Amino acid sequence: MKVLLVEDDAALAEALGTALGEAGMLVEQAATGGEADFLVRTERYDAVILDLGLPDGDGSRWLAEWREDAIELPVLVLTARTRWNDKAAGFSAGADDYVTKPFETAEVLFRLHALVRRSHGHAHPVLRIGELAFDTHSGSVTLAGRPVSLTAQESRLLAYLAHAAPRVVSRSELAEHVYDRDHEPDSNVIDVQISRLRRKLGTTRIETLRGQGYRLVDATT
Ligand code: CA
């Protein structure tokens, strides 16, 4: 999962960025609305965490423009303001959810996971594809009830495929959502990591569709 964190308070941005990273997310950061706007329009994110009080204007201004331009990614608004008016402005601009500072990092994570899940059409916190279960909150994976140990990168790859399932995901889509923009891999690297995942999950669980990409399938059917 790749998240854009838009926050001008450097200490808060670093603390939250670190916590999100430890939770297995790829985090890119912007400290101004202008920077966020550029990134949202050029990169692919699974969600945006948006502070409203930014040095170059109110975050809801950019959010409203994104929605106007049919940019539909989930946006969690983060702000110190507690006045109802500001929350209303955030929601009116197109926010999906809201957290008021000071907040518990765990709450941000829970809300973020739920937003991303919902954006893929899932309500249950555990995504199941046959015997494979992926817990969207803890990131843990089980196969027929037995825990599977994955590296951080494998876990991100599987998380994306599990959210998208049964949709086919192209290599370029995987590259955009699962890897840092400064380290976007060539398709070889993705293929290698997919084969490592197959070794851990069983070879038939990830299907390759020639020229299209990968999808997770219920290998028991
Ligand atoms: Ca701020």
pLDDT in tens, 137-166: 999 999 999 999 999 999 999 999 999 999
Q: How far apart are CA 153 and CA 111, in angstroms?
A: 22
Ligand 1 centroid distance, CA of 36 (Å): 13
Ligand 1 centroid distance, CA of 79 (Å): 7
Q: Which of 85, 119, 153 is the last residue of a domain?
A: 119
Ligand 1 centroid distance, CA of 117 (Å): 27
Could you tell me the mean pLDDT of each successive run of 10 residues in the chain, 221 residues long? 96 96 94 98 96 94 97 93 80 94 93 96 96 94 96 94 96 90 79 95 94 91 58
Ligand 1 centroid distance, CA of 74 (Å): 20
In this predicted structure, what is the pLDDT of residue 221? 58
Domain count, the chain: 2
Domain that holds residue 75: 2-119
Q: How far apart are CA 94 and CA 88, in angstroms?
A: 10
In this predicted structure, what is the pLDDT of residue 73? 96
Ligand 1 centroid distance, CA of 136 (Å): 29
Q: What is the CATH number of the domain that holds 65?
A: 3.40.50.2300
Statement to judge: residues 6 and 97 lie in one domain: yes
In this predicted structure, what is the pLDDT of residue 82? 72
